Structure 1
Amino acid sequence: MRFDIADLTLFIHIAESGSITGGAQRSHLALASASERVKNMEFRAGVSLLTRRPRGIGLTPAGDILLRHARRIVGEHDRLCAGLTAFAAGYGGTQRIYANTSAASWLLPGRIAAWLSAHPGALLEVEEKPSAEAVSCIAAGLGEAGLISDAVDAGDLIVEPVAADNLVVITADAHPLAGRSPLALREVVNMPFVGLESGSALQQYISARAAAAGHALIYRIRAGHFEGVCEMVGRGIGIAIVPEIQARLYARRFALRSMALSDGWARRSICLCYREWAALAPGMQALLGWIRAGASASQR
Structure 2
Amino acid sequence: MSFDLTDLRLFMNVVESGSITKGAERSHLALASASARIRNMEDMLEVALLSRGRRGVEPTQAGRALAHHGRIVLDQWERMLGDLGEYAKGLKGHIRLLCNTASLTEFLPDLLTAYLADHPNVSIDVHERLSSEIVQDVVDGKADVGVMAHATDVGELTTFPFRKLTFVLATPAGHSLASRRSLAFSEVLDYDFVGLAEDSPLQRYLEAHAARLGREMNYRVRLRGFLTVGKMVENGVGVAIMPDTAAQRCQETMNIRTVRLTDSWSTRDLMLCVRSLSELPVHVRELVEMLRS
Query: Which category describes the TM-score, using the shorter chain as reference length?
Result: 0.7 to 0.9
Native 8 Å contact 1:223 1:229 kept in 2: yes
Greater shift, 139-148 or 241-250, is seen at 139-148
Q: 1:126 and 1:174, CA in 2 relative to 1: closer, same or farther beyond 3 A?
A: farther
1:218-254 CA deviation, whole Å, 9 max, x = no partner? 1122113323322211211000111112112222223
Distance (Å, rounded) in 2 between the aligned partners of 1:273 and 1:285: 12
Are residues 268 and 54 of structure 1, via their aligned partners in 2, closer, same or farther at CA, if it must alter by over 3 Å?
Answer: closer
Aligned-pair RMSD on alpha carbons? 3.9
Tell me which of 39, 42, 53 is aligned to 1:38.
42
Larger CA deviation: 167-176 vs 120-129: 120-129
1:78–1:128 CA distance, 2 compared to 1 (3 A):
same
Residue in 1 that maps onto 2:126: 128
Matches of 1:86 and 1:194, distance apart in 2: 48
The structure having more radius of gyration, on CA atoms, is 1
Paired with 1:116 and 1:140, the residues of 2 have a C-alpha distance of 26
CA distance in structure 2 between the partners assigned to 1:263 and 1:69 by the alignment: 43
Q: Counterpart of 1:229?
A: 229
Equivalences, count:
283
Q: Which amino acid aligns with 1:129?
A: H
Contact in 2 for aligned 1:97/1:143 (Cα 8 Å): yes
Deviations 1:190-211 (A, max 9, x none): 0111112233221122122122
* Structure 2: distance between partners of 1:277 and 1:211: 37
* Alignment match, 1:96: 95
| TM-score w.r.t. length of structure 1 | 0.74
Which structure 1 residue ranges, 5 or more long, are not aligned? 295-300
Distance 1:90 1:134, change over 3 A: same
CA contact (8 A) 1:13 1:27 kept: no
Q: CA deviation at 1:12?
A: 3.7
Q: 1:9 to 1:60 in 2, by over 3 A?
A: same
Preserved CA contact (<8 Å) 1:131 1:152: no
Query: 1 CA distance for matches of 2:239 and 2:73?
Result: 46
Partner of residue 279, structure 1 = 279
Q: Which residue of 2 aligns with 1:145?
A: 145
Name the counterpart of 1:176.
176
Q: Contact 1:72/1:140 (CA < 8 Å) preserved in 2?
A: no
Q: TM-score, normalised by structure 2?
A: 0.76
The answer for the alignment partner of 2:208 in structure 1 is: 208
Provide closer, same or farther for how the CA distance between residues 7 and 280 of structure 1 changes in structure 2, counting only shifts above 3 A.
closer
The CA distance in 2 between the partners of 1:290 and 1:199, in whole Å, is 29
Q: CA deviation at 1:280?
A: 2.5
Q: Deviations over 1:59-117 (max 9, x none)?
A: 322212323432453465367557756742289x7573624443344434555677789
Secondary structure of 2:107's partner?
A: helix
Amino acid at match of 1:38: E
User: Aligned residue for 1:298?
Assistant: none
CA contact 1:86–1:94 (8 Å) conserved in 2: no
Equivalent residue, structure 2, for 1:288: 288
Find the aligned partners of 1:285 and 1:143 in 2 and give their Cα distance: 13
Name the structure 1 match of 2:219.
219
Deviation at 1:160, TM superposition (A): 3.2
Q: Which runs of 5+ in 2 are unaligned?
A: none
Percent of aligned pairs sharing the same letter = 30
> Counterpart of 2:259 in 1: which secondary structure?
strand
* Equivalent residue, structure 1, for 2:253: 253
Displacement of 1:272: 0.7
Deviations 1:100-142 (A, max 9, x none): 443344434555677789xx67866554321336545533424
Q: 1:116 to 1:184 in 2, by over 3 A?
A: same
